[in-house]
Amino acid sequence: MSIHGQRERVISEETAAKMRECMKDRGLYLALLMRSFSKILPKDQVEKAAREAICEYGRYKGSKDKLQPTTAEDWVDGHVARGMADVFESSISIEKNCCKQEMTKCALLDAWRELGCTPEEIDLYCDVAMELDRSRADYHGLEWEIPLRMGKGDSHCCVVLKNKKRD
């Protein structure tokens, strides 16, 4: 079942564009901070610290989620309700105990390209930024896979969320 193709937009294109501009700022901060810190620290330490910080941010955001999703379907329902499916131009499919989000637009990627980042930098920044989703899913007890990322050159991003098997 695909949600995105069978529903009305949650937010207007104008609002989605404004949200993308805010997200671009987040992408610029990440890239510029990592570049700056890499001038005084070894790159592996900068990457490790950035991942830790983004994970902490993901746990914080997870604790603030209004819906507190306990299933993969709850997660994507929140994604849609907040207008993020419109922002990322997502298609969403739901199966038993599993949801797949496929996103074709990413403001972070746009920001890094506008900044003139190399493909290697974009891949790194994208993977670091995805720590937000990984840690947020972990916070809510969901299993996740990210088999495709536009930041590493794929045509779209894919996030697969699965309900954890209960003992």
Q: Write the DSSP string, 12-31.
A: -HHHHHHHHHHHHHHHHHHH
For domain 4-163, is the CATH number 3.30.70.20? no
Alpha-carbon gap, residue 101 to 85, rounded angstroms: 9
71 close to 161: Cβ distance less than 8 angstroms: no
pLDDT digit string, tens, across residues 121-141: 999 999 999 999 999 999 999
In this predicted structure, the answer to whether residue 6 has a pLDDT above a threshold of 70 is no
- Other C-beta atoms lying within 10 Å of the C-beta of residue 153: 11
Query: CB-side exposure of 22: number of CA atoms within 13 Å?
Result: 8
CA-nearest of 105, 76, 79, 74 to 93 is 76
Domain extent listing, the chain: 4-163
Alpha-carbon gap, residue 9 to 80, rounded angstroms: 9
pTM over 0.85: yes
pLDDT of residue 70: 85
